[in-house]
Amino acid sequence: MSKQYLSVLSIAGSDSGGGAGIQADLKTFSALGCYGCTAITAVTVQNTLGVSGIHAIPSAVVSQQIRSVMDDIRPVAVKIGMIFSNELVDAVADTLLNYRDQIKIVFDPVMVAASGDPLILEETRSYIINKLFPIADLITPNLDEAKYLLQINHINDQVEMKAAAQSLIDLGSQAVLLKGGHLDSDDLYDLYLSSAGDEEFYHTKRINTTNIHGSGCSLSSAIAAFLARGEEMSSAIKLSHQYINDAIKEAADVQIGAGSGPLNHFFAPEALIKVPIK
């Protein structure tokens, strides 16, 4: 009987510095025992200091990449990252609808880089809400992205996080993992809220390092990988939080470039990496 890898597709932008985007996604999939495939939506010109250019891939080519992978390798989970324009949103949403009953979808609405640089066109905000929110099993915005999506000025504590997450549900999300890494506190909280009313806060202590570039991309990719491995959403989120927290700890004192460095994706213990091939 033939065997198959557990495969996951990343639809996202390329980070020339290797710390975020497609590169971080592939590292995460591999570290967690999955076979990674890609559909590149944009090529960014960036390093650890920031983003200096974004060059979108033609929407028809993005759609062709997705179909090529889905029709042959047949991933069981998809992570969506940076979608730069309305045309790309259409290409991704319309193409994935053909495979929706075969896959779990985790959408990380990447809109602002850790450096503060914008990563999407202004007019794409409402387009993303209308086209991508409804097809995703989970969206994973950070606080800045949630504020941008909701057009609000502040999310400063757990009460405001819950209100923001509910507002994102009201906009059509099935479930939200609102990431609180930008809270001004040593105690960090992420909030999971589903349209069914499931709610859970995840607490971690801030790690004293600037090497967090790509942490959001890697978290959403880890969740997709654990979903591909058969975990339920709650378990996938818990396991992913632990993986990212440990990956940040293991990279805390490593210097790559002059700015915000990457995680150590491959710290993972052997027991975590090895998963059965189905």
Task: Please give the Cα distance from 112 to 217 (Å, whole number).
Answer: 12
Give the C-alpha separation, 62 to 59, whole Å: 5
The dihedral formed by the CA atoms of 74, 76, 81 and 86, expressed in degrees to the nearest 10:
60
Question: Is 89 within the bounds of a domain?
Answer: yes
Domain CATH number, residue 264: 3.40.1190.20
For the record, the structure tokens of 203 come out as 């607490």
Is there a domain that residue 52 lies in?
yes
For residue 242, give every residue at least 6 positions away whose Cβ sits within 8 Å of its Cβ, in sequence order, or none: none
The CA distance from 243 to 254, in Å, is 18
User: Would 27 be classed as within a structural domain?
Assistant: yes
Sorting pLDDT into bands at 50, 70 and 90, what band is 271? very low
For 109, counting Cβ atoms within 10 Å of its Cβ (0-12 exposed, 13-18 middle, 19+ buried), the class is buried
In a domain, 44, yes or no: yes
pTM, entire model: 0.94
What is the per-residue pLDDT across 163-189, written as a single tens digit (0 to 9) for each?
999 999 999 999 999 999 878 788 889
pLDDT category at 122 given cuts 50, 70, 90 is: confident
Banded pLDDT at 22 (limits 50, 70, 90): very high
Asked whether residue 199 is assigned to any structural domain, the reply reads no
Q: Is the pLDDT of residue 218 over 50?
A: yes
The pLDDT score that the predictor gives to residue 169 is 98
Task: Tell me the C-alpha to C-alpha distance, in Å, between residue 215 and each of 33, 93, 140, 163.
Answer: 18, 24, 12, 24
**Residue 46, domain extent:** 7-141+211-273
Q: For residue 121, what pLDDT is reported? A: 73
Statement: residue 272 has pLDDT above 60: no
- Has residue 172 been placed in a domain? no
Confidence of residue 36 (pLDDT cuts 50, 70, 90): very high
Q: What's the structural domain count of the chain?
A: 1
* Residue 98 maps to a domain: yes
pLDDT band at 267 (very low <50, low <70, confident <90, very high): confident
Residue 266 lies in a domain: yes
Tens digits of per-residue pLDDT, 78-89? 999 999 889 999
Confidence of residue 275 (pLDDT cuts 50, 70, 90): low
